[in-house]
Chains A and B, each alone.
Chain A
Amino acid sequence: MTDSLKAELFRCRKDKLLLFAFIFVTAGFIFMTFIAGFAEHNDRVTIFTSGNISQFCSIVKMAVFVLYFVWFQEYRYGTMKNLCMSETTKGQYFTAKFLTQIIVCIALMVWVLICFSLCLLTLEKGTGDTSPFIKEGLLILLRLSLFSVMEIAVIDLLFVITKNEIVSFLLFFIVLSNSGAYIAQLAEKAGIGGDRVYPLTIGGAYDTATTSAIPASDSIIFIVSVTARVLIIYTLTLLILRKEVNYEKKK
């Protein structure tokens, strides 16, 4: 397991695609700060209160998608067959991949924090106390990190099912991310309660993660529900992979 993890981290260091996620976050944040400069109020307080923070979060959500390559490289380079020769078990092999994605994701979040702090420093101070907003910003980053882990788990599942990069991209960003409101409306019509169903969707989870000033109880529910969903999705992915690798072995 440790060897697999080391191997995956080594591969990550060598792959230039990973660098793109960091460059994308940096460029996106610089761009957003530049654009915020055109707004009537462009101080540090307004950036938290005007809803601009969700724009920064959307950059992170998109950058996290790049981590797909850790999972997808076996399909891309046709090296899935190597797993049949390896002594490492399937579970260990793919768990090492998933853990690598989480490690890179944490590194990305640290980079996001650095970039966002630098962007804030370039803006005017504005009127009012910024410390509650900074605390809120950190909580958003924490929830966003957890959402990103769920995003990774969903992307991995999508890749295992579709085996196509663009289809997975479209399914995640167009279908899953935007279907929350429609699912909630259908649930409302069915009498289940749209408000209860919406947070369970990808769009709903993202909204909860990026909304500022949500009650502490809601934050705890979010953390528990997202962790549970990550475990369920990852188990499902492993089950599908198990069948697939057994099929490769039979071949």
Chain B
Amino acid sequence: MVNVIRSEIFKSLRSTYFRICLVGGSLFIAIAVLFIPQIANVAGFSIETRSDLSKIMPFVFTGACVALMIFFPIFTDIFKYNTLKNEPGSISLITTGKYLTALIFCLIFAAVFMASFTVTFFRLAPSPDTDKGLLAESLISFLATIPNYAAMIALIQLITIAAKNEIIAAIIYYYSFAQLFTVKLIMAGAMPEDMVILRHLTPIGEFYNLGDLRFSAVHITLSVVVGIVYAIVLHTMSRKYFMKRVMA
């Protein structure tokens, strides 16, 4: 397994596309987070104090899911270049190896985000009411999103294995992701109770909840559990589907 991950990391870092995306993505995250108050201003939010950050964080957490699309090529390269035949000994490990590689790269983005967020936090004026412990709570909320991002990567892997084509997978992922909000908004008028369930039982809903930044320990635990369950289920589905296709 370690060798598969090593080879995937080596392969990815050799790719110009991936290097540009990794550096560009990190820079994009750093700039976007460092200039959150200015960007929020354009979007119609006013971020002046530290406690105001909770207004924009749900959108930052959910918006970051789009950036995960740069991991599509990690999953589709075997189909694109027909290189599956080169690794007969490690076919069963390929899916997990690729998944863990994407997760490792995702953690680089997470580290950049946390560093930029801390700088932004201290750049903002302290809140008139207490903001004691807000930074720690914010970082804990962010750490709790990682299992949910892992679930999103597992979803990306499942879509790419099923679609075999980067753009088709990207359209399905982007559209279903964007439409989830529309569905929620349209359904909000008709059945708000169902919307509450949607918010609590999907990784995207959890991003929205965790963006509140002042969530209780119970809610954070629930979010982590939801993320882990989705990640395991979706990854197992990807593995099974991939093996079925290989065997076929």
Contact = CB atoms under 8 A, between A and B. Distances in A.
B21 A65 contact: no
Interface in B7-38: 17, 20-21
A166 B166 contact: yes
Contacts of B133: none
B96 to A, nearest CB: 22
A60 B69 CA distance: 21
Interface stretch (A33-41, A123-131, A221-229): A33-41
B23 to A, nearest CB: 13
A17 B165 contact: yes
Contacts of B167: 65-66, 68-69, 165-166, 169
A28 interface: yes
Contacts of A40: 189-190
B171 A166 contact: no
Given A17-B165, A66-B171, A166 B73 contact: yes
B171 A62 contact: yes
A211 to B, nearest CB: 18
Nearest to B178: A58
Interface of A: prevailing SS:
helix
Interface in B151-210: 165-168, 170-171, 174-175, 178-179, 182-183, 186-187, 189-191
- Of the candidates B66, B171, B178, the one having the most CB atoms from chain A within 10 angstroms of its own CB is B171
A167 interface: yes
Interface magnitude class on chain B: 20 to 34
Interface string B34-46: 0000000010000
B168 A185 contact: no
B191 to A, nearest CB: 7
Contact of A166 (B69, B178, B191): B69
Contact of B171 (A39, A65, A164): A65
Contacts of B190: 38-40
- Of the candidates A24, A166, A174, the one having the most CB atoms from chain B within 10 angstroms of its own CB is A166
A31 interface: yes
B230 interface: no
A68 B167 CA distance: 9
B113 interface: no
A33 B121 CA distance: 44
A170 B67 CA distance: 8
Contact of A165 (B21, B166, B189): B166
A38 B186 contact: yes
A169 B191 contact: no
Given A38-B191, A62-B174, A66-B167, A164 B17 contact: yes
A170 B70 contact: yes
B198 to A, nearest CB: 13
Nearest to B163: A20
A69 B17 CA distance: 19
Contacts of A174: 66
Contacts of A166: 17, 69-70, 72-73, 166-167, 170
B69 A170 contact: yes
A109 to B, nearest CB: 18
9 smallest CB-CB distances across A and B, nearest first, come from: A38-B190, A165-B166, A169-B170, A165-B167, A164-B17, A166-B72, A35-B186, A38-B187, A40-B189
Interface of B: 17, 20-21, 42, 66, 69-70, 72-73, 165-168, 170-171, 174-175, 178-179, 182-183, 186-187, 189-191
30 contacts: A17-B168, A24-B175, A28-B175, A35-B182, A38-B186, A38-B187, A39-B189, A39-B190, A58-B178, A59-B175, A62-B175, A65-B167, A66-B167, A66-B168, A66-B171, A164-B17, A166-B17, A166-B69, A166-B72, A166-B167, A166-B170, A167-B17, A167-B20, A167-B21, A169-B167, A169-B170, A169-B171, A170-B70, A174-B66, A185-B42
